[in-house]
Amino acid sequence: MTTTTGPRLAAAALLLVLGAVACGGGGSDDAATPPPTPAEPQLTTLHSSLASPWSLAVLPDGQMLVTQKAGSLLRLSADGRTTLAQIAGVPAVAAAGQGGLLDVALDPDYSAGAPWVYLSYAEPGVGAQAGTAGTAVLRARLAGDALVDATVILRQVPKTTGGNHFGARMAFGRDKTLFVTLGERALESPAQDAAQTLGKVVRIQRDGTAPADNPSFGSGALPGLWSMGHRNPQGAALHPGTGELWVSEHGPQGGDELNIARAGANYGWPLRSYGCPYGSPVGTGCRIGGGTHAPDYVEPLTYWVPTSIAPAGLAFYTGSMFPEWRGQLFSGSLAGQALWRLTLDGNTVSAREAMFGTLGERFRDVRQAPDGALLLLTDSGKLMRLAR
């Protein structure tokens, strides 16, 4: 285990408080000893030989499941240092470009008797669809070191050629329905077409059926749609207070967004963006559709300009290890090569901080560990732990 950044504070900075010595009959209480200064956060590398890890989930016993983009699912020890097994039964994936084995999530009722896990991945087309791919979600039981009783519960419609913009983040709602983010596959029109699931957030039951209370997108709309007008949403997290789904998505040249994905809402892509077409001069005159989303579309909570940070995994902090961060939002970033910490005032982003930007790491995922530490995955193959 190696510490990669952050000075380690002394075990305790001893503050000597000299009480006033009573003279004669008078006296005074000793001054109160101030609380010790909290130790600085330490970012420590636990594992450094993963192969393009994309997502992780912590099992009830503390062990971890980690997806690797080329198509393998690993079980790591609870301390994150050791690869214990490669899980069998993982579906075939289209690993070209941004595709591959992507997100992993545990069922909200996961237990030894019902060890259901969910994998999102770029599923290759077969037969007449050979050469295409689309985001899919697999549900299976984890039996020892194998996935069994596997069923594909979601397939993006349609499959397309190319290897970009699969989205593929998953988050369970409080009612145990499953949200899945679906990229627009780098195509111009699908995000506004309710007859396709590209460029959407979908909400499904755990068996893949559409909940009866999903919003309506009119005649011809596919089942399961929750919100539309997204580009490539690669971060998804449920707000711990409101239960609403927050998503982060890639803009083009700038214009990365953070949104609350609400039922029936339209977020404007490709008609509005604070970003610009690739190759445009840096500035505001090139913003797509003028930039401003309202009143036709939903304004983002915050956005990044003039260049993209490429936001990735997203997590609200609810732990006790860093009480000063409780209620804040953390986002990985790829092009931005930083862990972003967003301070919130209700649904308003009041401050943003890019952390660990000097490491040159593409932070792919961020998850909260049971003890309140943050677990980070990087494209360079590292599992890191941010703790004090």
Q: How far apart are CA 222 and CA 196, in angstroms?
A: 7
Spatial contact of 11 and 37, defined as CB atoms under 8 Å apart: no
Q: Of the candidates 339, 306, 180, which has an alpha carbon nearest to the alpha carbon of residue 247? A: 180
- List all residues 6 or more positions away from 173 whose beta carbon is below 8 Å from its beta carbon: 179, 203, 238, 243, 245
In order of 47, 79, 104, 239, 369, the CA distances from 61 in angstroms are 19, 11, 17, 25, 12
Q: What is the DSSP string of 202-243?
A: EEE-TTSPPPTTSPP--TTPPTTEEEE--SEEEEEEE-TTT-
d(CA 286, CA 211): 40
Count CB neighbours of 29 within 10 A. 7
Torsion of CA 319, 140, 127, 199, to 10 degrees: -30
Biggest alpha carbon–alpha carbon distance for the chain = 100
With vertex at residue 137, the alpha carbon angle to CA 383 and CA 119, rounded to the nearest 5 degrees, is 25
In angstroms, the CA 238 to CA 314 distance is 9
Contact 135, 202 (CB under 8 A): no
How far apart (Å, rounded) are the C-alpha atoms in residues 107 and 114? 9
* Core vs surface per residue 101-123: b (16+ CB within 10 A) or e: bbbbbbbeebeeeebbbbbbbbb
Name the catalytic one among 165, 230, 250, 293. Answer: 165
Is 239 considered catalytic here? no
Distances (CA, A) of 10 to 13, 32, 358: 6, 22, 24
Catalytic positions, written as ranges: 165
